Amino acid sequence: MAKCKVSGKRPQHGNNRPWSRKATQRIWQPNVQQFSVFVPELGKNVRLRVSARSMRSIARIGLKEYLRKQGLTLQDVL
């Protein structure tokens, strides 16, 4: 099961609905990738499994600021 360590995105479930309207169960997986980011407090790179949306946000504003906005600390993620 794919889960983003930072944003908490998880698989969603629902129904496939073709033209005949016959419902069959399916799952939408989040786009979770391995991401390496430098953490100045630790002085090293840290590898995280994060969603593509979180990767873009972390690259833009930094890991510490993104975690603050999410209400998390560095220890929660590691």
pLDDT at 1: 72
User: Greater confidence, 19 or 77?
Assistant: 19
Per residue in 18-36, pLDDT (tens digit) is: 999 999 999 999 999 999 9
pLDDT recorded at residue 72: 92
Q: Where are the beta strands (DSSP E) in the chain?
A: 12-16, 24-28, 32-39, 44-51
Task: Evaluate whether 72 touches 5 at the Cβ level (below 8 Å).
Answer: no
Q: What is the pLDDT of residue 78?
A: 84
Domains of the chain in start order, with CATH, are: 21-73 (2.30.170.40)
User: What is the reported pTM?
Assistant: 0.82
**Dist. CA 52–CA 34, nearest whole Å:** 10
pLDDT tens per residue across span 25-71: 999 999 999 999 999 889 999 999 999 999 999 999 999 999 999 99
